[in-house]
Amino acid sequence: MDHTTPSDEIFQEMKTAAIEIWNTYNNDFGYVTEKLDIVNSITNFQDNAMVFYRMFDGDNKRKMRYNLSKEAWEYINNNQ
């Protein structure tokens, strides 16, 4: 399988959507900080952007997809 690197715009869009979802959680024990450290360490190489999507359960994947452009949806669908 070829790993497709998304455009910088799609990468940033997916990263922003992931950050927004993580920021809805309680960070009393540093869980959100831990996840955001991972998100912020990811670079736009091959299919690394899919980590933003794959780190969520089904409900949060739906929330993420709801806030993404058609182009980002297509990228996810083509790289699952």
- Whether residue 54 lies inside any domain: the answer is yes
Query: What is the band of 45 on the pLDDT scale with cuts at 50, 70, 90?
Result: very high
55 within some domain: yes
Q: Provide the residue range defining the domain that includes 33.
A: 8-78
Q: Given this model, what pLDDT does residue 80 score?
A: 83
Tell me the two tokens of residue 59. 């409900």
The verdict on residue 1 lying in a domain is: no
- Distance CA(42)–CA(44), nearest Å, equals 7
- Domain presence at residue 2: no
Whole-number pLDDT of residue 4: 86
> What is the pTM (predicted TM-score) of this model?
0.92
pLDDT at 72 over 60: yes
What's the rounded Cα separation, in Å, for the pair 63 and 8?
Answer: 21
DSSP character string of 14-40: HHHHHHHHHTTS--TTSHHHHHHHHHH
In a domain, 72, yes or no: yes
Reported as a pLDDT band with limits 50, 70 and 90, residue 2 is low
Report the pLDDT averaged over residues 13-36: 96
Number of domains in the chain: 1
